[in-house]
Amino acid sequence: MTDDLNRGLEGVLVAESELSFIDGDEGRLVYRGYTIEDLAEGASYEEVVYLLWHGELPTASELEEFSAAMAAERSLNDDLLRTVESLADADEDPMAALRTVVSQLSADDDEAVFDADAVTDREANIRKATRLTAKIPTAIAAFTRLRNGDDPVEPREDLSHAANFLYMLNDDEPDEVLAEVFDQALVLHADHGLNASTFSASVTASTLSDLYSAVTSAVGTLAGSLHGGANKNVMRMLIEVDESGMDPTEWVKEALDEGRRVAGFGHRVYNVKDPRAKILGEQSESLAEAAGNMKWYDCSVAIEEYMQAEKGLAPNVDFYSASTYYQMGIPIDIYTAIFAMSRVAGWTAHVLEQYEDNRLIRPRARYIGPRDLTFVPVDER
């Protein structure tokens, strides 16, 4: 045992994984041997989910069967829809609502067990992961529509995972370009090493708690502004810059002088530009050009150039996902829920891996409090 202190477990190796590899100095992200650039360009989200869960890309027939199985699990039962409606009526935060929904999903799953032997059943867990991955988008779309006074839209099994979500959100089948851009965003967010939410899922699973508990832990962790919640802050910042009427670089300079944090920059792992930010930046530019409105993209580029030149900080995935989603008409406060909608693939893949070679995750803290105090009875204090 070492007495070295690593705050935030920075740089501490706690597990071995075959799922994703990050080279922070070179700006590389790899899922099971495939670069994120190749997967974003050539693979659908469904293919990436299959890759993470099964260790290899599916054949055409395997993909068809897998996609159909996931599409068949999209619908929510009446009890769950009533819960979603009550959360929408209460104007609950979308991530808090999602946390509740994920927890309740276990009540409707006959395979959601806590028996120490059954909880690690790989095939059963893949079926549970399929249900979670399929139903989370339906819950997010239904919640968003209900709070706006609209009826939920029943999912369709003939649409892709990405296209179906946009259809349920807007009650309108998306065009091919929007569906492709959104699918690519889901691919980019599907996994990212042992990040905070994935680690929290692994910690929960290491106790031999069930998959639903692990994903509930992950959702709660992702909600924080230093993790998944950062993408909302980026778009709110861009809107503030626009409404100020100031030049973006002058706004950033003033914000930094005031001690404010510029959202979407810096990363615990990457020392260079996040490779996912490069791809999403290109998508943001394409959407802007198609809409004939470069405002959000140009503002983002100006801020990126200033932060890189003056502070040596490069953007992370949140920086360009914000303007990409905004240009697609997606409400700002569900950005993090969409992150969860994608990352559930990685969370469940890591939980499957944890169960395969499990050891209870139990770090220690260095005690720095008082010692050798003398106890005084309450009537003498």
**Tokens 């909302």 sit at which residue?**
232
* Whether residue 350 lies in the annotated active site: no
Contact by Cβ (8 Å): 125, 348: yes
- E strand residue ranges, the chain: 20-23, 28-31, 34-35
Long-range contacts at 118-124 (CB < 8 A, ≥ 24 apart): 119/208, 119/209, 119/210, 119/211, 119/355, 120/208, 120/355, 120/358, 122/352, 122/355, 122/356
From the candidates 227, 257, 274, 298, give the one annotated as an active-site residue. Answer: 227
In the block, residue with structure tokens 């929408």: 88
**Degrees to nearest 5, angle at CA 346 with 262 and 317:** 20
Question: Maximum Cα–Cα distance for the chain, whole Å?
Answer: 78
Amino acid at 204: T
- Report the alpha-carbon angle 322-289-327, nearest 5: 30
**Amino acid identity, position 51:** L
Catalytic residue check, 189 = no
337, 98 Cβ separation under 8 angstroms? yes
Which token pair is 111? Answer: 């395979």
The answer to whether residues 80 and 104 touch, using CB atoms and an 8 Å cutoff, is: yes
Interatomic CA distance for residues 285 and 97, integer angstroms: 32
Neighbours of 269 (CB within 10 A): 16
CB-based contacts of 311, cutoff 8 Å, min separation 6: 256, 265
| 161 tagged catalytic | no
What are the angstrom distances between the C-alpha of 228 and each of 18, 213, 216, 218, 334?
A: 23, 19, 14, 11, 11
The single-letter code of the amino acid at 247 is D
Catalytic residue positions, numbered: 227, 267, 318
